[in-house]
Structure 1
Amino acid sequence: MKKAYVVGTADTKGPELQFVRDLLGDAGVSTVLVNVGTKGGEQYADIPAAEVAACHPDGPAAVFVNDRGRAVIEMSRALTEFVTARDDLGGIIGLGGSGGSGIVAPAMQALPIGVPKVLVSTLASGDVSAYVGASDVNMFHPVTDVSGLNRVSRRLLGNAAHALAGMMRFKVPQVEDDKPALVLSMFGVTTPAVQAMTTRLTDDFDCLVFHATGSGGRCMEQIIDQGGVTGVLDITTTEVCDLLVGGFLSAGEDRLGAMARMKLPFVGSCGALDMVNYWGPETVPAEFKGRKFYHHNAQVTLMRTTAEECARIGAWIGRKLNACEGPVRFLLPLRGVSALDIEGGDFHDPEADAALFQALRDTVCQTDLRRLVELDLHINDDAFASAAVTHFKEIYTTGGT
């Protein structure tokens, strides 16, 4: 039977870890309590810290150092090696403040998507992107510090323990995965396009749609790198805008990298390359004062990309496409790239779009396998979705030749 791994620094959080372990046991889940503290606490642990540290690529001496910051980093490396080698791990729960969360979160991220992961962290009410990454870590905010058992902590630690028990004990109904998997990227302003594509594809493919919010792009690329995906319709490449202009939803420099590495049939487009994403208006850098904005809601502010920025974005994407050795079709929707970039729309800017398209023409080295396809359509036109599906099926069945 798979076990729940209860992980934390037992030298400072032993009773709390023991409390969670006991609740899991009472719920019928077998447990292993793993100590990742460097100052004792072994009386609580099934796996002592030394056993975890021994998994470090450079040996335990790299972990047990007289520098707390370095010890946290190196113990995290050791824990990652430890948990990924276990064949009885069915779920994992970690407790911690900044140090404990920093140790446990990378190890959780290294486990396959679908393995239940719960992280009770005092940092859970802030920006949790570093702790969740491109994984499915579930973060619980403990309200009080993870320091002692009291009327608040017992309830919230109990909720977290029972959440993990539920994930492990109750199985998701299995569906026969007999269709090949496709990944697609979508944003609110390209939703009509992507929904029309999935409608046309769902009879033959298992369509995995990712929200292009930075983490969504990283998750999509990770899924591609893990294998099992047979094709890509990356219609919404907006995260590149945030990378190059300084928005809040960048997916990083490796965006489009997995497509090149895996050489999959790839249809892409310019979805939402007309916008950079910020949070509230107060988060927009002062240097952009006077630019064209659209207030999506109270939490999200969109900024229209300029012709100069669009040229940089197009050239960056073009270089990424040149690295792809598999069959590529990159579609240029000449009448607009988002729901806002349409005649009469808030972001309609033919000059900026023209700069984007010209940069792609100038940069992409077109071959029989790698082609730009210009369409006198808006990205959300039904005919654009039809064309994207047609091009994908063509390269999927012929290999692009």
Structure 2
Amino acid sequence: MIETSDFLVIGGGIAGAGAAARLAPDASVTVLEMEDALGRHATGRSAAIFIRNYGNRTLRALNAVSEPVLENPDGIAEDSLLSPRGEMLIATEDELDAFESYLNGAEGMETLTADEAVDLFPLLRKEGIAAAAIERDARDIDVDRLLQGFARLAKRHGTQFVMDAPAERISRSSGIWRVETPKGAFEAPVLINAAGAWADQVAALARVKKVGLVPMRRSAAIVPAPEGVDITGWPLVASASESWYAKPDAGKFMVSPADEDPVEPHDAWADDMVLAEGLHRFEQAVTMPVTRVERNWAGLRSFVSDRTPVVGFAPDAEGFFWLAGQGGYGVQTAPALSRLVADLCLKRPSELTGEVVAALDPARLF
């Protein structure tokens, strides 16, 4: 038996679940997820912080539209998905150019003296800080509540989520896309490719031109904080050159080497050498030694050449919709991008400017 719907979404991460949630009130939607649960890969391994100034000009515009939804997630969650954190950027003498580049065009950034930076994150080595700034409004995101809220909203309007259903064959005939999976065949006139690191592989199955997606590994580890030190209210701190960052996490530190190593799509794990090098860079900036790693993991952040998401209908395949290339911005831009997906698919005006929509359009890459 073939199941049909108006929209068929491949991928059950934050992108696919968000798209389904926004389409479902006005159309029938089926989401196909290759794993046994939603958000198994990039979504479930996110550092989970909303940083208004994170990303290029287009991404910052998406951040601005997403923030009110995260603060007041009507229909998604009962209360705000954000909680106080702050993001502090520090620079050595060698990182001053990168520091100034980040602050160029940034909003809500406050420069700090080295003493002020150490007051906020007391483990920092003051002598190594040539410049510092903080975005006090940067906030932690409750990723699981956002993902599950999207899923509940979609299901409330009839969306079917099919687990353990990787796309094995994709074809199009008479204006209808057909996706064959171990759970059966599914059809719809519009196929939304929200497959994360696997998005170009999905395009190849559908015989659609790839967008040049490059999955990049990002590793992280949990390390203990010094005994007797309450780090709960400390901000995330990052090097201006993005060579490491550290974030308080349940009384411990999540430390990342901020790696971006190109890899094939897979269930990622941390590279021991890369992680060790990142932890060493962290140790050079702070007064605490890393005595042990309690656990580590890695996720894949996927980018195209201009590091801007790819959102819109493919120029070479009718009814094939790209929702990919979110890089490390997928969770915090999900509210804006899920709205855009629904607006473009249902031919409604978008709250985003024409400039932003054009910057996201897959046609720019061809």
Identify the TM-score tier after normalising by the shorter chain: under 0.3
Tell me the TM-score normalised to structure 2 length.
0.26
Structure showing greater radius of gyration is: 1
Tell me the TM-score normalised to structure 1 length.
0.24
Between Structure 1 and Structure 2, which shows a larger proportion of strand residues? 2
Relative contact order higher in (CA < 8 Å, ≥ 6 apart): 2
Between Structure 1 and Structure 2, which shows a larger proportion of helix residues? 1
